[in-house]
Structure 1
Amino acid sequence: MYNLEYEITDNKLVISIDLDYEHGLSASGKSIMISSTSGTISLENSRLEKLMLTLYKKA
């Protein structure tokens, strides 16, 4: 997981991502990766929800 912070407040998921950050090119080289969970993650041990997120822009 990179360039991603989250918290659960009052049963709402709040995600924070720095949109100025550039992690590098995607495998195809067509996109610039900004943020990713790098697959599916569990939010908290006591919750059933899972999160999968990828944020990118055109290269």
Structure 2
Amino acid sequence: MELINNIAKAHGGVSVFGGVGERTREGNDLYMEMKESGVINEQNIAESKVALVYGQMNEPPGA
């Protein structure tokens, strides 16, 4: 989480976390930590500079 925050602030980019299958549980934990620490700002989403992408393994691409 610290790496994602530092990259977004230092370089002005957007960090992306991709969670597939079992990683979706860890992704939810990561989301909650980012929200609590202020990396994700739900009041002003444009300030967040992070995207979390989740997918299931039992569905075809694009579903």
TM value normalised by structure 1: 0.32
**Structure showing the higher strand proportion among its residues:** 1
TM value normalised by structure 2: 0.31
